[in-house]
């Protein structure tokens, strides 16, 4: 086995960050070098686990030499991680969603200098759902298509990055641009549904980890493709595998789909 991959987690005390820190500490393929928090975090300076010499820190300057950063922080946190990765030529796995166009463009640009793998959803099940939806949307091109998502009440962006990812897959299956067909809100006298629209609906509440359904609605029949996450460790495990695969690759834009295809030999 080769040398351990030196990794940092950004957003390390968040819901995803804590799961990632826990997984990486126990995975012998990795050396967890830094656990980066927001500057306001109450856990800053405390060990990442009882007995560990590694402490949560907000200071990228103390991160040490790295092969890859896994970011599940938020848009501002991602900016700091990206700056560090560009300055030190470190690979970047991005799980943060709700970035907006300017940050997405900056990430695209960064891929000319460092390897970047970004996914709004690191679960294997959603990767397969996305492929199935692309096929179904193409095969049932005249049917109405709606995407419904549900998440816990603390989620800050809507619709979810995964719902948008599924919307992109459906649009690609139909050979259209999502931005020209997406309907994100309906209120008041909306008039009849337009043929070819891709509608989005959002549910927020409680502790829902993440649920997505794509409804293909015809006359007298309906196809439903759905995924339910019950444990957020599925995203962390996918991000860890992505980090291991990405470390050491040349600069460029990489996808989870490409990783899965390479691993399955397809």
Neighbours of 41 (CB within 10 A): 17
Candidates 15-23, 84-92, 185-193, 211-219; binding stretch for ligand NAP (CB under 6 A): 15-23
Nearer to ligand NAP, 96 or 130 (CB): 96
Instruction: Classify 213 as helix, strand or coil.
Output: strand
60 is an interface residue for ligand NAP by CB under 6 A: no
10 is an interface residue for ligand NAP by CB under 6 A: yes
The half-sphere exposure of 46 on its side-chain side, counting CA atoms within 13 A, is: 8
Question: Which residue sits closest to ligand NAP, CB atoms considered?
Answer: 14
Q: 84 an active-site residue?
A: no
The helix or strand, by DSSP H or E, that contains position 35, with its residue range, turns out to be strand 30-36
Cis amide bond preceding 159, omega within 30: yes
Q: 155 an active-site residue?
A: yes
Q: From the candidates 58, 152, 155, 253, which is the catalytic residue?
A: 155
Instruction: Classify 146 as helix, strand or coil.
Output: strand
242 is an interface residue for ligand NAP by CB under 6 A: no
The helix or strand, by DSSP H or E, that contains position 132, with its residue range, turns out to be helix 124-139
For ligand NAP, which residue of 31, 96, 133, 241 counts as binding (CB under 6 A)? 96
Encoded tokens for 157:
């962006």
Residue found under tokens 């919307």: 167
Candidates 95-103, 200-208, 241-249, 253-261; binding stretch for ligand NAP (CB under 6 A): 95-103
The helix or strand, by DSSP H or E, that contains position 227, with its residue range, turns out to be strand 222-229
Encoded tokens for 189:
């006298």
| Per rule CB under 6 A, count of chain residues that contact ligand NAP | 28
Question: 143: Cβ–Cβ under 8 A, 6 or more apart, which residues?
Answer: 216, 217, 218, 223
Q: What is the pattern of x (binds ligand NAP, CB under 6 A) and - over residues 111-140?
A: --------xxxx------------------
Nearer to ligand NAP, 30 or 72 (CB): 72
Encoded tokens for 196:
């070819």
57 is an interface residue for ligand NAP by CB under 6 A: no
CB of 160: closest distance to ligand NAP in angstroms? Answer: 7
Which residues are near ligand NAP by CB under 6 A? 10-11, 13-17, 36-38, 40-41, 72-74, 76-77, 80, 95-98, 119-122, 232, 235
Active site residues: 151, 155
């Amino acid at each position: 086995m080769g040398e351990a991959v030196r990794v940092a987690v950004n957003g390390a005390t968040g819901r995803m960050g804590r799961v990632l820190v826990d997984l990486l500490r126990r995975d012998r393929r990795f050396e967890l070098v830094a656990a980066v928090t927001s500057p306001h975090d109450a856990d800053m300076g405390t060990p990442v686990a009882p007995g560990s010499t590694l402490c949560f820190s907000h200071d990228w300057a103390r991160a040490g030499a790295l092969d890859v950063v896994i970011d599940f922080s938020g848009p501002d946190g991602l900016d700091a991680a990206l700056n560090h990765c560009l300055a030190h030529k470190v690979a970047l796995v991005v799980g943060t969603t709700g970035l907006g166009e300017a940050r997405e463009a900056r990430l695209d640009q960064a891929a000319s200098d460092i390897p970047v793998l970004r996914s709004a959803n690191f679960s294997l099940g959603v990767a397969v759902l996305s492929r199935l939806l692309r096929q179904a949307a193409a095969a049932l091109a005249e049917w109405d298509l709606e995407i419904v998502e549900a998440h816990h009440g603390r989620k800050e962006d809507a619709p979810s990055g995964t719902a948008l990812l599924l919307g992109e897959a459906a649009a690609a299956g139909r050979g259209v641009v999502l931005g020209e067909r997406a309907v994100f809100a309906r209120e008041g006298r909306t008039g009849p549904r337009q043929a070819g629209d891709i509608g989005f609906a959002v549910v927020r509440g409680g502790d829902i980890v993440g649920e997505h359904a794509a409804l293909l609605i015809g006359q007298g029949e309906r196809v439903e493709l759905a995924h339910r996450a019950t444990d957020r460790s599925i995203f962390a495990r996918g991000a860890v595998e992505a980090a291991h695969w990405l470390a050491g690759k040349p600069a460029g834009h990489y996808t989870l789909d490409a990783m899965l295809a390479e691993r399955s030999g397809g």
